[in-house]
Amino acid sequence: MTFVFASNNSHKLEEIQRLLSEHTILSLSAIGCHDEIEESGETLEANSRIKARYVRQWIRGHYPDLLYDGIFSDDTGLEIDALGGQPGVYTARWAGEPKNDAANRHKALSLLEGAETRSARFKTVITYITPEGKEEQVYGLVEGSIAPAEAGDKGFGYDSIFVPEGYDRTFAELSSETKNSISHRARALMALRTQILKQ
């Protein structure tokens, strides 16, 4: 089966291609869409839906002959308990524009300096839309905590400061195989596979 993933993020695409290796995954650039999709929603669910709907409309207007079985998009948020659930929906651009992963991590560590509670979680929402327009959403969640300092050089985003529950190392210190078996995105993709794709 062939699916369009509503992103050009190479890190996400690599994860998804490994987890759904039995399928063909097309990025936005692969179908010729280079638009910057505005994520104007106030929730992860809304932003995920906005991206998937945008790409479906783009395909209908620019590439109507494209043969595909569905479109899916994800939106992920980091929720830090000591910060009232921040950054949440603003995770990617928390430290301001343009998006800067290092600045985001620095902000998190600075705001948590001296904090007794460092519990946090990653939440991923995936929206799936069929070519006919039927929509469904699935979720992936991983509990954990924010490390006192950055550690590891794998991964991206907040991976070097997030320690998943049950581990004593950050996502950025774990092998890709281990991360892909426990991460929020992996769990959401497994839900996509079992609940929607039925493969």
Q: What is the pLDDT of residue 15?
A: 84
- Residue 72 φ then ψ, to 5°: -140, 150
Q: Which of 155, 157, 181 is nearest to 167 (CA)?
A: 181
In angstroms, the CA 158 to CA 91 distance is 9
**CATH classification of the domain holding 98:** 3.90.950.10
Write down the residue that tokens 């800067």 correspond to: 100
Note the pLDDT of residue 155: 81
pLDDT class of 167 with cuts at 50, 70, 90 = very high
Q: Is the pLDDT of residue 199 over 70?
A: no
Q: How many CB atoms lie within 10 A of CB 138?
A: 22
Q: Which of 35, 69, 74, 75 is catalytic?
A: 75
- Express as a percent the part of the chain with pLDDT over 90: 78
Average pLDDT, integer, range 127-133:
94
| Domain tally, the chain | 1
What tens digit of pLDDT does each residue of 11-62 get?
888 888 888 889 999 999 999 999 989 889 999 999 999 999 999 999 999 9
69 is catalytic: no
Determine the residue type at 13.
L
Instruction: Measure the CA–CA gap between 84 and 71, rounded to whole angstroms.
Output: 33
pLDDT of residue 18: 86
The count of residues in the chain is: 199
**Which pair of tokens denotes residue 28?**
């936005």
Residue pointed to by tokens 């638009």:
35
Q: Which domain holds residue 185?
A: 2-197
- Calculate mean pLDDT across residues 113-117: 93
Over residues 54-74, the pLDDT tens digits come to: 999 999 999 999 999 999 999
